[in-house]
Structure 1
Amino acid sequence: MFNIVMIGFMGTGKTVVGRRLAALLKKRFIDTDTEIERITEKTIVQIFAQDGAVRFRSEESLLVKKLEDQDNLVISTGGGIVLNPENVVSLKKNGILIALNAPPEVIYQRVRHKRSRPLLNKGDALIKIKELFAEREYAYDVAEYRVETGDKQVDEVVQEIILYLKNKYNMRI
């Protein structure tokens, strides 16, 4: 059994889609941010504020290494996890990478009231989203399949992924 790994920019729906997908496929769900918070006993905001982005990225890489030999998981990743090529290698070792994408304006509407986004806590959030989005968009090309989530309901996105898995891997669901 392989893992399904949700990648993409913040606010594209990785966690909510991943959780629903895991339930339907009877796989265990792991959200890397939540797992890092559990392991470090700090929130992501605290890690960024107290220890910096480098420490957070280090925690992500350690977690990905721990997950690379596990299977039957749906993993929702942080938006920047694929910026490290070693993380991509680890995630692909036993996983199918599915990228979720949405326009920056949709992402802004989804995340604008969340204070748990350390990269957006300073300045104009929409401008920061557009800047980060432009910087990172190429990084999600490592995915095997990409789903546009901007104008779709969660169940539509989940069904699109399931249809892809059925057709490509003959999965019975």
Structure 2
Amino acid sequence: MEKKNNIYLIGFMGAGKTTIGKFLSQKLNYNFVDLDLHIEKEQGISISEMFEKHGEKYFRDAETESLRKFSEKSNQIISTGGGIVIKDENWQIMRNRGVSVYLKSSIKTLFNRVKHKSTRPLLNVENPFEKAKELFSSRESLYEKSDIIIDREGLEPGDVADAIVRELDI
């Protein structure tokens, strides 16, 4: 099978994957897909509800199926969920179909972006900052397996999109 030219945006919740993905989509004239939004639409419930009713494994399986489905196409900017990196199968799909880009920020910056959003089921706990630190710590080395790492600390989304285009040499 031919290698696809999809771009997978990877990073912790609050990294700006969706926002930057939309910028990239316009710059490169690629189709934009937000996996989380697609899964919610397909399942007919929010991700928070999915976690509550069916558990995290159910969501992760739906996430892998959506990733596989959209990866069959070319010229896609795919905004992934923050936990996409925990399954080897997802890495295999992304490596075979395009390039992964890790949008790196500090845990403090990331948490400040998401702390007031109730749509983050993994942070609906007594001490959300500690939980975020724990999750981030467990995933950081996985994120760093990405083909390209962009440190987006202090950069506006448009600047991050420009940096990605430069790195991709498109």
* TM-score normalized with structure 2 length: 0.95
Q: Deviations over 1:69-92 (max 9, x none)?
A: 211100000000111001111112
> CA–CA distance in 1 between the matches of 2:92 and 2:152?
25
2:36 aligned with 1:49, yes or no?
A: no
Match of 2:118 among 106, 115, 118: 115
Q: Which runs of 5+ in 2 are unaligned?
A: none
Contact kept in structure 2, 1:12 and 1:150, CA below 8 Å: no
Q: Which residue of 1 aligns with 2:42?
A: 39
2:127 aligned with 1:124, yes or no?
A: yes
Shift of 1:165: 1.3
RMSD: 1.0
Contact kept in structure 1, 2:48 and 2:121, CA below 8 Å: yes
Match of 1:9 among 9, 12, 30: 12
Match of 1:153 among 156, 163, 168: 156
> CA–CA distance in 1 between the matches of 2:84 and 2:129?
21
Matching residue's letter, 2:76: L
Q: Which residue of 2 aligns with 1:60?
A: 63
> CA–CA distance in 2 between the matches of 1:28 and 1:12?
20
Contact kept in structure 2, 1:18 and 1:29, CA below 8 Å: yes
Q: Deviations over 1:116-154 (max 9, x none)?
A: 000001112211111111111011122111011221111
Matching residue's letter, 1:27: Y
Match of 1:76 among 60, 79, 90: 79
> CA–CA distance in 2 between the matches of 1:82 and 1:48?
18
Across the two proteins, how many residue pairs are aligned to each other? 167
3-state SS, counterpart of residue 99 of structure 1: strand
Contact kept in structure 2, 1:44 and 1:116, CA below 8 Å: yes
Matching residue's letter, 1:128: K
Q: Which runs of 5+ in 1 are unaligned?
A: none
Matching residue's letter, 1:75: I
Structure 1 stretches (4+) deviating beyond 4 angstroms?
none
3-state SS, counterpart of residue 39 of structure 2: helix
Shift of 1:63: 1.0
Q: Which residue of 1 aligns with 2:21?
A: 18
* TM-score normalized with structure 1 length: 0.93
